[in-house]
Amino acid sequence: RRVHGGFGGVVQFPKNFLKQAYDHVRSHGGVCVMDEIQTGFGRLGSHFWAFESHGVVPDIVTLAKGIGNGFPLAAVVTTPKIAKSLSTGKFFNTFGGNPLATAVG
């Protein structure tokens, strides 16, 4: 079992697990979300994003920690279709109204 950095380590999924899970979720109309807060931004050493090592492409990726270089900053990356859906309802975030967070981001 490979264990990667982060607080307490991050255990990799078994080979093909994510691919099979993504196929199953999408076959039922769902979207696939990857949390790259601990493993993203090259922390694995071999790939910039952990999902790349599994041969999958998520519909939504959450990012934090490494993106702010110590400043509490986060981001969500998604498809144009999902992003467009955010304009039809109310959307809020924690740091968006903070002038310092806006400048850092």
Distance (Å, rounded) from C-alpha 53 to C-alpha 61?
15
pTM > 0.95: no
54-64 per-position pLDDT tens digit: 899 999 999 88
**60-64 β-sheet, strand order:** 33-35, 60-64, 74-78
pLDDT band at 5 (very low <50, low <70, confident <90, very high): low
Q: Averaged over 56-84, what is the pLDDT? A: 88
The pLDDT of residue 66: 79
Residue of higher predicted confidence among 36 and 1: 36
pLDDT at residue 2 above 60?
Answer: no
